[in-house]
């Protein structure tokens, strides 16, 4: 199914966007300095660490691990995850400006973006359906759907990391 969705992406239709990104002054800034790309990589890793560190803690608690930690208090880690995601979003967009012809056609990149979309929908469900119950009832509000959402969160974000690491190895496909 994933390969069908990914193969449905018409990269040729994105070529005008890729050309526009490559012709921009942001592209020149991203690739114009010896330090810009490594700085962006470091910030991307920092963002990923904040995002995953916070989410893993929350997801594992929702799944029932660390049972003595108050589940209502776990939501305090969400702003850290949002900060990490925001940092990754900004640096990721700058990577796209820096090398659009590397990323857009790359199957691993496309899979990563699809997994981020799924993870985002998963978070939206958690915030709209599960978190209000947890805020009201604590552990009793988690429900089976909360445990499924937490497990899916871990799966999606691990997939995002693995797909991101695979990007250099899919450049020839």
| Count of the separate structural domains present in the chain | 1
pLDDT of residue 140: 83
Please report, in angstroms and rounded to a whole number, the separation of the first and last CA atoms in the chain. Answer: 19
Confidence of residue 172 (pLDDT cuts 50, 70, 90): low
Confidence of residue 13 (pLDDT cuts 50, 70, 90): confident
Confidence of residue 17 (pLDDT cuts 50, 70, 90): very high
Does 3 map to a domain?
Answer: no
Does 151 map to a domain?
Answer: yes
Residue written as token pair 């992406």: 9
Domain that holds residue 98: 12-170
pLDDT of residue 150: 96
pTM of the model: 0.87
pLDDT of residue 20: 94
């Amino acid at each position: 199914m994933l390969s069908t969705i990914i193969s449905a992406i018409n990269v040729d239709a994105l070529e005008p966007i890729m050309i526009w990104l490559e012709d921009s002054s942001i592209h020149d800034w991203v690739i114009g300095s010896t330090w810009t790309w490594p700085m962006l990589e470091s910030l991307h890793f920092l963002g990923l660490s904040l995002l995953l560190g916070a989410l893993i803690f929350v997801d594992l608690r929702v799944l029932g691990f660390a049972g003595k930690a108050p589940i209502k208090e776990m939501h305090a880690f969400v702003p850290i995850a949002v900060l990490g995601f925001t940092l990754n979003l900004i640096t990721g967009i700058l990577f796209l400006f820096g090398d659009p012809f590397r990323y857009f056609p790359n199957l691993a990149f496309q899979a990563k973006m699809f997994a981020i979309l799924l993870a985002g929908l998963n978070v939206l469900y958690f915030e709209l359906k599960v978190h209000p119950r947890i805020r009201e009832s604590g552990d009793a509000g988690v429900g089976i759907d909360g445990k499924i959402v937490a497990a899916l969160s871990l799966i999606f974000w691990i997939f995002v990391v693995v797909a991101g690491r695979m990007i250099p190895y899919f450049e020839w496909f």
